[in-house]
Amino acid sequence: MNDFEVIAQARSGKEAVKLYAQRKPDIVFLDVVMPDGDGTYALEKIREVNPDAIVIAVTSDLTPATSERLHQLHASAVIYKPFDINELIKVVVSLLPAGMKQVKFSH
């Protein structure tokens, strides 16, 4: 997909944190609604491992409480479902460090 490589997929928030620590992807996509530690849990724990990680929250939850929590945890970006793949790519490119040519996606 546009020269992006998915290197891991997690089925829970706790698994996402474990995979992040093991794989150290360039970008993480986190669904906010996940079992066994949701996306906000995973974001908080990933920030403990790497405060500078690029973490994009993906959600259909438009509540102010969720938005505020993602802001407090410094999500790099928030993408609301349903989303357009071209918009997602624009967000990713805007978050990449200068000169990065390939990105490894993890979610």
Residues 28-86 pLDDT 10s:
999 999 989 999 999 999 999 999 999 999 999 989 999 999 999 999 999 999 999 88
Domain ranges across the chain: 4-97+100-104
Q: Which residue's entry shows tokens 């500078």?
A: 52
- CATH fold of 4-97+100-104 reads Rossmann fold (3.40.50)
H or E stretch at 90: helix 85-95
CA 23 to CA 8: how far, in whole Å? 8
> Tell me: the pLDDT tens digits for 6-18?
899 999 999 999 9
Enter the pTM of the model.
Answer: 0.85
Report which DSSP code applies to 97.
P
User: What gap in Å lies between CA 67 and CA 86, rounded to an integer?
Assistant: 23
